[in-house]
Amino acid sequence: MVKVIMLGPPGAGKGTYATRMAPKLGIPTISTGDLLRAARDDPEIGGIIRKYQDSGELVPDEIVINALKKRLEKDDAKNGFILDGFPRTIEQAKALEGITNINVVINLDVPEEIIIKRLSSRRICPKCGTIYNLLYLKPKVDEICDKCGTKLIQRDDDKPEAIKERLKIYHEKTEPLIDFYKEKGILMTVTTDRIDVPPEEQVDKIMSILKEKKLI
Ligand code: ADP
Ligand code: ZN
């Protein structure tokens, strides 16, 4: 059983790597960004989620922690999981300690210029959720989803103003988690130094770390 956190700035590749590792490990990827996006139409909390997500700000801890707690109670999370996008604040990390034990934190270290280029060229399929990148993960036909033929869109929070805001928030609120987990002795850093590193190369690195640490 392995419980992994993917840590890193937006656009570092957390989701891209997590969704490729999950089938190899036989455990689910749990993305709080996806959990929150799925609740955007909720009559009670949908309005709050939309307001924060669209501006690139963090959704209030209470809402995120509740959503995560519920998700972790599902059967498929009982044998381990990969967290993508959670925790993003010290508050959330402390709440997580009260819910479950984490084995390893994979810290994705990516230079800011790469992040900005990647995020602004990211496109998603509004229907099936597949992620593309106009620079290196292109759809076969321009701007059209390979899987379902839908026209791709740019997320509101991938637009330049929101990207700046998300990076600022990452430095203020999320980066302190690096030291938090370093002190606990479970932080492993994986560095990216060029924009077009094939995801499989990074996934292999992460899988070797899990093996070295005898977690798989
Ligand atoms: P990315 O990793 O590219 O920023 P995500 O899908 O993980 O994209 O997150 C999108 C948005 O969802 C965030 O900007 C934030 O508004 C919200 N969100 C996701 N996870 C959290 C979290 N753990 N705490 C607070 N807000 C979150
Ligand atoms: Zn699609």
Please answer whether residues 80 and 27 qualify as being in contact, where contact means their C-beta atoms are separated by less than 8 angstroms.
Answer: yes
Please answer whether residues 209 and 25 qualify as being in contact, where contact means their C-beta atoms are separated by less than 8 angstroms.
Answer: no
Which ligand 1 atom minimizes the distance to the CA of 92?
23
- What is residue 161's predicted lDDT score, i.e. its pLDDT? 87
Ligand 1 pocket check for 96: Cβ under 6 Å: no
Ligand 1 pocket check for 64: Cβ under 6 Å: yes
- What is residue 196's predicted lDDT score, i.e. its pLDDT? 84
Backbone angles phi, psi at 70, to 5 degrees: -60, -45
For the chain, domains (ranges, CATH) are 2-111+173-212 (3.40.50.300)
Q: Which of 88, 117, 118, 168 is catalytic?
A: 88
- What is residue 131's predicted lDDT score, i.e. its pLDDT? 87
- What is residue 144's predicted lDDT score, i.e. its pLDDT? 97
Q: Is 166 a catalytic residue?
A: yes
- What is residue 174's predicted lDDT score, i.e. its pLDDT? 98
- What is residue 89's predicted lDDT score, i.e. its pLDDT? 98
Whole-structure pTM value? 0.91
- What is residue 62's predicted lDDT score, i.e. its pLDDT? 97
Residues of the chain under the 50 pLDDT cut: none
Q: Is 40 a catalytic residue?
A: no
Tokens of 140: 């076969």
- What is residue 115's predicted lDDT score, i.e. its pLDDT? 94
Question: Is cis: bond before 87, omega within 30 of 0?
Answer: yes
Tokens of 180: 């938090």
| Å from CA of 144 to ligand 1 middle | 25
Q: Which residues of 23-60 are buried (b: 16+ CB within 10 A; e: fewer)?
A: eebebbbbbbbebbeebeeeeebeebbbebbeebbbbe
- What is residue 195's predicted lDDT score, i.e. its pLDDT? 87
- What is residue 88's predicted lDDT score, i.e. its pLDDT? 98
Q: Please name which ligand lies nearest the alpha carbon of 58.
A: 1
